[in-house]
Amino acid sequence: MQPLKANGKSKAHLQENQACIKSIGPMSNQTKGPGDRLFDNLTTMDELLLILKHQYSKRTIYSWVRQGMPHQKIKGKLWFPKDEIFLWLKRSS
């Protein structure tokens, strides 16, 4: 597999962003019910773009999904498992 490069970004940018995911805490201080646990580790496309500091476009993320980036589709919306995203990006670069 060829190294991932999007919008001229390299592996160094991906590694830089790995630290960002660790800084993301819970989005809410509300008590969560059993059904909410499903989404504890999932992030939306917009949240993923924020985590990646908008260095990549939605088009790039969609192309990575086609290449096998970990995701789940729930009610027509893409959700990305935070703990698997950067592992996938690291392996793919």
pLDDT of 28 > 50? The answer is no
**DSSP state, residue 4:** P
Statement: the pTM of the whole predicted model exceeds 0.75: no
Among 11-15, 25-29, 73-77, 89-93, whose mean pLDDT is lowest?
25-29
pLDDT at 57: 94
Percentage of the residues of the chain whose pLDDT score is greater than 70: 58
Among 7-11, 20-24, 60-64, whose mean pLDDT is lowest?
20-24
pLDDT at 66: 95
Closest among 92, 87, 21 to 52, alpha carbons compared: 21
